[in-house]
Amino acid sequence: MDAQPVLRDRDALTIEARDLGPALRLWSRPPALAALTARLRDRAPAGAAPDLVFAGSGDFHHVTPLLIERAIAASDAGPVTVVHFDNHPDWVRFENGMHCGSWVGRAARLPGVAKVITVGVCSGDIDRPEAKRADLDLVAEGRVELYPWRAPDGGPVLRVGEQGWPSMQAMGEGGFADLLASRIVTPTVYVTIDKDVLHVDDAVTNWDQGQLSLDGLERLIRTVAGRARLIGADVVGDWSPPRYGPDLLSKLLKRGEAFLDQPRGGVPGDLARTNEATNLRLLSLFAEVAS
């Protein structure tokens, strides 16, 4: 199901990549990533103004490093802080390619990226992350900071190794906005949003939903854009029916992973109306903060 038809009516440039979708979905090997990179380069030359990219399901969040590289090259910017809104940390280790749950490590190590600040996680992925293949070198090296919606133990602070980060729930959205602004010390910023960070009233995704309100997300984006120059942004988290590939083995592996990791059930309710309303608010917001 195409959850973005209303965006197509707003004179948006559409890069068709559905033929690559099964190979890219959930995780991608280098050939599929290279094919998408070439398609972006050939059909959407980067301009001086920041791009806002709607990239579909959160199963495709690992296209974000490609978009960050594009934004840095187009703006001749650096260093840049990546602000990442998500219900999952996306910091696991993954070999020979990228996974929608592993892309943060690639992004945080890109030339020109100072660090990734992840905001809003309340999924179980941050409970005992060392047992869940988290790349905790990112934390030790100061490449990632993670401010959860709430800590797994219900306390006010998430502790990972020697690091501790206060939760949004403990600080309140206003107090957290001030903290977030203080953690951005670079002249430029890139924003990436997985709508699964939002409460179920504001988004319908292929994953479990978080607790952040859309009003709260808008407030934080304004805070970020007021702190540093925005060089680009992307949004994922539109629900779509899963199609996996590119070969039988990959299809079986991806289906098994989705069965274990993703919520099960029928097609969500009025997903088109919910997601389109949120997408339009984000489109209007980014037009405002990038002007």
Taking residues 65-74, what's their average pLDDT?
92
Identify the CA nearest to 5 among candidates 285, 275, 281: 275
Per-residue pLDDT at 2: 47
Query: Tell me, what's the pLDDT at 266?
Result: 52
Q: Which residue has the higher pLDDT, 219 or 262?
A: 219
Q: What is the mean pLDDT of residues 154-160?
A: 90
Higher pLDDT, 96 or 268: 96
As a dihedral over the C-alpha atoms of residue 65, residue 68, residue 72, residue 75, rounded to 10 degrees, the angle is 160
0.85 exceeded by pTM: yes
CA-wise closest residue to 212 among 160, 244, 177, 243 = 177
Is the pLDDT at 114 greater than 70, yes or no?
Answer: yes
Instruction: Identify the residue with better confidence: 88 or 12.
Output: 88
Count of structural domains, the chain: 1
Q: Work out the average pLDDT over 241-252.
A: 78
Q: Which of 276, 220, 258, 290 has its CA nearest to residue 52?
A: 290
Predicted local confidence at residue 1, as pLDDT: 37
pLDDT per position as a tens digit, 161-171: 889 999 999 99
Token pair for 197: 């960070």
Q: What beta strand segments (E) does the chain contain?
A: 27-28, 51-54, 80-85, 98-99, 113-119, 144-147, 157-160, 163-166, 188-194, 229-236
CA 219-222-225 angle, to 5 degrees, is 150
| Owning domain of residue 11 | 5-290
Q: What is the pLDDT of residues 183-209, one digit of tens each?
A: 999 999 999 999 999 998 898 888 788
Distance between CA 49 and CA 92 in Å, rounded? 32
Note the pLDDT of residue 6.
Answer: 58
Give the per-residue pLDDT at 8: 62
Range 254-262 contact pairs with CB under 8 angstroms and sequence separation of 24 or more: 254/25, 254/26, 254/27, 257/26, 258/26, 262/206, 262/207, 262/208
Q: The tokens 């490093």 sit on which residue?
A: 65
* pLDDT exceeds 90 at position 231: yes
Task: Examine the pLDDT at 272 and tell me if it is beyond 60.
Answer: yes
Average pLDDT over residues 123-136: 90
pLDDT of 46 above 90: no
C-alpha to C-alpha distance for 273 and 269, rounded to whole angstroms:
9
Residue 49 per-residue DSSP state: S
Per the model's pLDDT, the better-predicted residue between 137 and 43 turns out to be 137
Q: Which of 163, 123, 157, 129 is nearest to 143 (CA)?
A: 163
Please, which pLDDT band fits residue 259 given cuts at 50, 70 and 90? low
Report yes or no: 195 and 238 within 8 Å, Cβ to Cβ: yes
Q: Report the mean per-residue pLDDT for the chain.
A: 87
Q: 276: pLDDT confidence band, cut at 50, 70 and 90?
A: confident
The CATH number covering residue 165 comes to 3.40.800
Contact 71, 228 (CB under 8 A): no
The pLDDT score that the predictor gives to residue 5 is 59
Question: Sorting pLDDT into bands at 50, 70 and 90, what band is 47?
Answer: low
